[in-house]
């Protein structure tokens, strides 16, 4: 089954992009917090970190269209969030905070929407039903092809530590299909891109013809005369 799950996981460059954006968003949040006074009730802190992270993730995705990712802003009740869509593989990615002392999120409708077809997608890809489901009851639906069964991923980060995880929930949200530590997933080579060097006219030193070349031109002219 792991082979089928791996095909739905984030690609290395996508993973690196999101992890780096989360890290930068948390740094920005720390910088902003350092400028604010201490309040009696600091209810703004977790919300501001969430806003900073979402902003940096959205900007990173928009700046990297070659990753085939698109980002959309949505709301669930009064809760704003962003969802990233891998348009080629039909994979949806949520970015959400999860305290390190918690193993899993509490069930919610919007997370459930993105997890609802995870089993269907893996079964469409050929994952063994008994290995995937075990003894758990599962109502299979009419097969429409894997491209019509989206797969939902959650990239979760801890608000106070560096921990970042990538996982996919079971449709009932009671456990993870997989949940892996991706904290160290930033690809350094992604930044090693050769840039085009643009010179100013003043940077280019004019070169004079060599004297030998000048002599050849003069001799040819004399013969022509």
Q: Of 152, 183, 186, 146, give the one whose Cα is nearest residue 167.
A: 152
Q: Parallel, antiparallel, or unpaired for β 164-169 and 79-86?
A: unpaired
Q: Of 136, 141, 102, give the one whose Cα is nearest residue 120.
A: 141
Among 16-30, 65-79, 209-223, the range scoring the smallest mean pLDDT is 209-223
Read off the pTM.
0.79
Are the beta carbons of 16 and 190 closer than 8 angstroms? yes
More confident of the two residues 155 and 3: 155
Q: What is the pLDDT of residues 176-191, one digit of tens each?
A: 999 999 999 888 755 4
Beta bridge partners of 84: 71, 93
Beta bridge partners of 70: 85
């Amino acid at each position: 089954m792991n082979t089928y799950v791996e095909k739905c996981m984030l690609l290395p460059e996508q993973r690196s992009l999101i992890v780096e954006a989360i890290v930068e968003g948390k740094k920005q949040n720390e910088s902003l917090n350092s400028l604010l006074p201490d309040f009696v009730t600091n209810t703004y802190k977790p919300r501001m970190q969430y806003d900073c992270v979402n902003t940096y993730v959205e900007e990173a995705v928009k700046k990297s269209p070659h990753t085939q990712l698109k980002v959309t802003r949505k709301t669930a009740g009064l809760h704003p969030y962003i969802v990233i869509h891998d348009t080629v593989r039909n994979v949806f990615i949520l970015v959400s905070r999860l305290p390190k002392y918690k193993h899993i999120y509490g069930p919610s409708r919007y997370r459930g929407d993105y997890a609802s077809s995870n089993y269907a997608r893996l079964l469409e890809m050929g994952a063994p039903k008994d290995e995937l489901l075990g003894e758990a009851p599962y109502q299979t639906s009419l097969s429409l092809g894997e491209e019509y069964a989206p797969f939902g991923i959650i990239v979760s980060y801890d608000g106070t530590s560096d921990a970042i995880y990538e996982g996919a929930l079971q449709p009932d949200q009671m456990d993870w299909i997989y949940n892996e530590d991706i904290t160290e997933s930033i690809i350094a080579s992604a930044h090693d891109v050769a840039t085009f060097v643009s010179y100013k006219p003043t940077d280019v030193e004019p070169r004079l013809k060599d004297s030998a070349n000048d002599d050849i031109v003069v001799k040819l002219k004399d013969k022509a005369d």
